[in-house]
Amino acid sequence: MTASMHGDDTLARDMALPVAIRSVQARNLTVFIAAVVLLVAAAQFASSTMALKLILWISFSICALSLDFVWGKAGIFSFGQNAVFGLGGYAYAVIALNFFPDSQETVSALLGAGLVGALSSALLGYFLFYGRLSDVYLSIVTLAVTLIIYTVLASTAGPEYHIGEALLGGFNGIPSLPGIAFPALFGIGGTELSIHQLLTFSILFTAAIYFSLHLLVRSRFGLMIEGLRSNELRMELLGYDIRKLKLIAFTIGGLIAGLGGGLFAAWGTFVNPSVFSLAQAATVVVWVMVGGRGSLLGAFIGVLIVQSAADAADLVITEQTPLLVGLLLVGVVMLMPDGIVPTLARWMKVGGHRPRELRARLREQGHAGAAADRRLSVADIAKHFGGVHVLRGITAAFGDHPIHAIIGPNGAGKSTFFNILTGRHRPDHGRVVLNGSDVSRVPTFQRCRQGLGIKMQVPCIFADLTVRENMQLAALISKDAQDIHQTLQRVGLSQRADEVARNLSHGEQQWLEIALLLVQNPSVLLLDEPGAGMSEEDKRQTIALIHSLSSQHTLIVVEHDMEFIRALSAPVLMLHQGIVFRAGTFDELVRDDAVIDAYLGRRSHAA
Amino acid sequence: MDAFVVIAVSVVTAIATLILISAGLAVIFGLMRVVNMAHGEFLMVGALTTTSLVLKLHVPWWLAMMAAPFVGGAIGGLMEILLISRIYQRHLVDTLLITFGISLIMFQLAVDIFGTTPPGIETPLGALTVGSYAFPAYTLVLLVSAVVMLLGLYLLFTRTKYGLLARATAQNPAMALALGVPAKRINFITFTLGCALASFGGAVLAPMISVSPSLGQAFVGQAFMTVVIAGPAFITGTLLSAILLGGVSNGLSQGLTTLWGLTGLFAMAIIILRFRPLGVSSSWKRGL
């Protein structure tokens, strides 16, 4: 795809990759297919015992893969992946026992296991993410869920606990399940697979899951969840609904774990509550820890290392698996918190940041917001925390002038007011109106989609991603995405597009954050102390940047650096004790004794 | 009337049980933000200490229960010095994984030492009768222990120097350190205290439950839920949380089956979290 095809297809140019990288990807695909073929061929020579063990490990790997995705990629630490895995196993058992006698196939049961996994994750995820549980709570709750399912299923021993034909069987679980059997079509299928056929099927099945996940990770959605792990707040400020993103990622993880559980049940032809045990929950985490979170291949390596070690240890002292898993867990966390494989890879200096290929989606070119659409106003805003009335009726309108400044002494209510504008706090009273629509009750991410750009005081960017990927994330969600390259030029970062953002200087990070906003072409830009922590030279550049932006955006700058405010030559709104104390030009304010008194904390002598 | 008394006793027992199994976890999580995944194993240590002392050394049951927190505290303190204190600065997930690893090690060691189904002890004190109903008199010991535990904690954290320093460290560790609070020692005491409390809880419950190395697993899920629902006020919040969850689960258990009781506890906890993600005490002004 060349840039000359469409003058306005600029996103495509920024997102596509050079041909060289594509050929690397083509080679990787060849290697992948060759590896799968080789594995399938080698599998035919495995002994029956070995084949059985491999199938078990493959089903474990699928479970590890799901946690690797959910934790390593999306940053959601869940202790419940083995619970979903177990539910998948039970789903397989229940479906297979009910339908196999008639249909003579269990592929539906395997798919059903995935479906149950996805649905149960979605249900749990809804409560976790829409309740906005923080990460520790999330891990505790997922673990508690696992343990409670264990206790519940273990107490279903009586004959009254059955689903259709399947007796749940309490602690003993459900025995005598049919293995994997394809439906009878074209003369094949209709019988259960032999061990070697099952191994071949498992390899292909896992390869398909792995490859799909790989594609997903390299897609737009993959970039989004990487953004989620890197900086949730910025994702929200770009207009992403992070609850939904997390829910989707968690549900995909559930689907995979459920499929793995189905395969597990088909492997052992039984399923019992021990898959929900604490030891099992820990084991899944250990696989991923050892293999290294975030590398999909690591999931397989982790299972291979840990399970071989467990088997080897079993020869020396039998049935000490929990002890071994516990020691491994403590050892890895204390000594190699990034995981064994990534630590080794770092020593050998392989791997690194790989660019991704994103094809532009066809979008209608938005039109720049008309001047009338660049307004933000508030009416009679009040907010209290406990007994402290921080804001006591603030009315103001921004947009009749391109730049506005908000100042006020410490404790004036500046931050609270800023948070009311962004949507982090809901006002007790009053309205916030953005471009003519009332957004008082609208959450932050939707305000951002409606044309509000928010720049935080401390640079809020995706430090783990490249400058270009930062910009792509901003452009992907925008209805009116601007050219990434041109936007970077505007802030002076076009030479650093492939730099990982954490390597930028403090000032450059501030500009990158502004560029993230600009690429979305917001109508109103909120800047919280844009000059904070900058050198004099950086400040001058920032002020020049703000002036250059003022022709296309309305800017609201909250600042307490008086020189900065003076240089903006903008109307100033001064907050004091929760009200608009003065409004006027900078010069008017500095000549006002009452303003000086407020700043110095003197009792006012101006009547 | 008699039936009412029996039902009330049952509900109160359920609430007291939740308090006993979660207070230690609540102290450590509330003050140190460390999730002690080995909490269940400390319950187990307490229970096994009690049964072993009673059965092997013929120590009176109440004395054996008094000894349990010292055993649990010693193990917990050692664990804090060797492992936990070295990783406070790291991500929360790390302490969680470490304690999880320790939980598995403790479980397996217990199996190796005591076997999977060690003998239990009889419930002391016999039965009380109300009309035609009877219930174990030991229930009163549970109730009194839970009340004493919470009251003791409240006094400890409001009336002692350690309590004040511990709360200060919890609220603002950097500031506390700047003011010269020996944060390291405070954390050590808090962690040891939490483990000792867990062991005491396990010890008191020992005559009422089947004591085995997997005891921790059976209770730790409920303990976690109680603490999560409790929120930042780790004493009063835990009390309210135990009342809510214990009341609901016990009511359902009596009306339907134990299975429904557990499911109800879990469902209620999840629903509360949807609307109060930081727990029931998240909007309270006082932090205890």
Query: Among B83, B224, B265, whose Cβ lies nearest the Cβ of A143?
Result: B224
**Tokens of residue A573, six digits:** 């709104």
Give residue for tokens 């002020």.
A543
Token pair, residue B55, equals 């059965």
Task: Provide the terminal-to-terminal Cα distance of chain B, rounded to the nearest Å.
Answer: 36
**CA pair distance A33, A604, nearest whole angstrom:** 79
Q: Does B209 touch chain A (CB under 8 A)?
A: no
Best of B43, B91, B104 to disrupt the A interface by mutation (most A CBs within 10 Å)?
B104
Check CB contact of A274 with chain B, cutoff 8 Å.
no
A499: closest CA among A521, A471, A473?
A471
Whole-number mean pLDDT of chain B? Answer: 85
Instruction: With a cut of 70, say whether residue B10 has pLDDT above it.
Output: yes
Chain A residues lying within 8 Å of B266, measured CB to CB: 144-145, 148
**A184, A197, A556, A242: which is closest to A375 by C-alpha?**
A556
Q: Distance from A134 to chain B by nearest Cα, in Å?
A: 8
pLDDT of residue A374: 80
Over residues A167-187, mean pLDDT: 78
Place B208 in a pLDDT band, splitting at 50, 70 and 90: confident
With CA atoms as reference, the chain A residue closest to B228 would be A137
Instruction: Report whether pLDDT(B25) > 80.
Output: yes
How far apart CA B145 and CA B18 sit, in angstroms, is 12
Alpha-carbon dihedral angle through residues A25, A27, A29, A31, given to the nearest 10 degrees: -140
Q: Does A133 touch chain B (CB under 8 A)?
A: yes
Which of A130, A148, A323 lies closest to B104 in CB terms? A323
Which pLDDT value is given to residue A188? Answer: 67
Nearest chain A Cα distance for residue B97, angstroms: 7
Cβ of B228 within 8 Å of Cβ of A278? The answer is no
Average pLDDT over residues A85-104: 88
Burial, B195: exposed, middle or buried (Cβ in 10 Å; 0-12, 13-18, 19+)?
A: buried
- Is pLDDT above 90 for B227? no
- Residue A322: list chain B partners with CB under 8 A: 104-105, 107-108
| CB of A287 closer than 8 Å to CB of A60 | yes
What pLDDT is stored for residue A257 in this prediction?
94
Q: How confident is the model at residue B20 (pLDDT cuts 50, 70, 90)?
A: very high
With an 8 Å Cβ cutoff, is A326 touching chain B? yes
- Mark yes or no for CB contact B105/A77 under 8 Å: no
Strand ranges inside A498-597, DSSP E: 524-528, 554-558, 572-576, 579-584
Question: Residue B24's pLDDT band (boundaries 50, 70, 90)?
Answer: very high
pLDDT average, residue stretch A376-403: 83
What pLDDT does residue A350 have?
A: 52
Task: Determine whether the interchain pair B104/A278 forms a contact, defined as Cβ–Cβ distance below 8 Å.
Answer: yes
Residue among B147, B166, B163 at smallest CA distance from B155: B163
Q: Which residue has better confidence, A105 or B22? A: B22
Most confident by average pLDDT, A35-39, A248-252, A490-494, B89-93: A248-252
Adjacent-strand bridge partners of A574: A407, A582
Question: Residues 6 or more apart from B161 whose CB is under 8 A from it?
Answer: none
| Mean pLDDT (whole number) for A315-334 | 78
Q: What is the dihedral of CA A229, A230, A235, A241, to 10 degrees?
A: 0
- Angle (CA) A321-A327-A332 rounded to 5° is 125
The C-alpha of B58 sits at a distance from chain A's nearest C-alpha, in angstroms, of 31
pLDDT band at A6 (very low <50, low <70, confident <90, very high): very low
Instruction: Check pLDDT > 60 for residue A606.
Output: no
Count chain A–chain B contacts defined by CB atoms under 8 A: 141
**Quick one: pLDDT at residue A190?**
67
Cross-chain residue pair A146–B221, CB shorter than 8 Å: yes
Above 70 in pLDDT, residue A163? yes
| ipTM field | 0.80
What was the pLDDT predicted at A245?
Answer: 92
Tokens, residue A140: 């505790």
Per-residue confidence (pLDDT) for residue A21, from 0 to 100: 58
- The answer on pLDDT for A361 being more than 60 is no
When scoring A323, A325, A328 by the number of chain B Cβ atoms within 10 A, the one with the most, hence best to mutate, is A323
Task: Answer positive or negative: Cα dihedral of A137, A138, A143, A146.
Answer: positive
Q: Residue A23: what pLDDT? A: 66
- Could you say which of A130, A147, A327 has the minimum Cβ distance to residue B101? A327
For A269-313, the pLDDT digits (tens) are 888 888 888 778 888 888 888 888 878 888 888 888 888 887 877
Listing DSSP states for chain B in one string gives -HHHHHHHHHHHHHHHHHHHHHHHHHHHHHHH----TTHHHHHHHHHHHHHHHHHHS---HHHHHHHHHHHHHHHHHHHHHHTGGGSTTS-HHHHHHHHHHHHHHHHHHHHHHH-SS----PPTT-EEEETTEEEETHHHHHHHHHHHHHHHHHHHHHHSHHHHHHHHHHH-HHHHHHTT--HHHHHHHHHHHHHHHHHHHHHHHGGGS---TTHHHHHHHHHHHHHHHH-S-TTHHHHHHHHHHHHHHHHHHHHS-HHHHHHHHHHHHHHHHHH-TT-TTTT-SS--
Task: Verify whether the Cβ–Cβ distance B97 to A289 is below 8 Å.
Answer: yes
CA A550 – CA A524 distance, rounded (Å): 10
Which residue in chain B is spatially nearest to A126 when comparing CA positions? B274
Across chain A, what does the average pLDDT equal? Answer: 81
Contact B263 A277 (CB under 8 A): no
Tell me how far CA of residue A501 lies from CA of A292, A351, A492, A493, A505, in angstroms: 23, 18, 14, 11, 9
CB–CB of A141 and B90 under 8 A? Answer: no
Task: Tell me which residue in A127, A137, A328 faces B228 most closely, judged by beta carbons.
Answer: A137
Quote the pLDDT of residue A187. 61
Looking at residue A466, the DSSP 8-state letter turns out to be B
* Strand-strand pairing, A572-576 and A579-584: antiparallel
Report the pLDDT value the prediction gives residue A8, as an integer from 0 to 100.
42
How many Å lie between the alpha carbon of A502 and the closest alpha carbon of chain B? 19
The pLDDT value given to residue B89: 66
- What was the pLDDT predicted at B286? 64
pLDDT higher than 70, residue A210: yes
Contact residues on chain A for B221, CB-CB shorter than 8 A: 143-148, 150-151
Q: Which helix (H) or strand (E) holds A330?
A: helix A321-335
Quick one: which H or E segment has residue A229? helix A220-230
Q: Which residues pair with A377 in a beta bridge?
A: A397, A433
Element (H, E) at A233: helix A232-237
How large a percentage of chain A has pLDDT more than 70?
89
**Would the pLDDT of A49 be above 90?**
no
Q: What is the pLDDT of residues A487-519, one digit of tens each?
A: 888 888 888 888 888 888 888 888 888 888 888
Q: Do B277 and A156 touch (CB under 8 A)?
A: no
Q: Which residues of chain A neighbour B94 with C-beta distances below 8 Å?
A: 333, 337
pTM: 0.81
% of chain A beyond a pLDDT of 90: 12
- What is the rounded distance in angstroms from the CA atom of residue A253 to the CA atom of residue B40? 28
pLDDT of residue A368: 46
Q: Are B24 and B224 in contact (CB under 8 A)?
A: no
Domains plus CATH for chain A? 36-276 (no CATH), 280-352 (no CATH), 376-600 (3.40.50.300)
Interface residue A224 vs chain B (CB under 8 A): no
Q: How large is the average pLDDT for residues A202-220?
A: 90
Average pLDDT over residues B194-207: 92
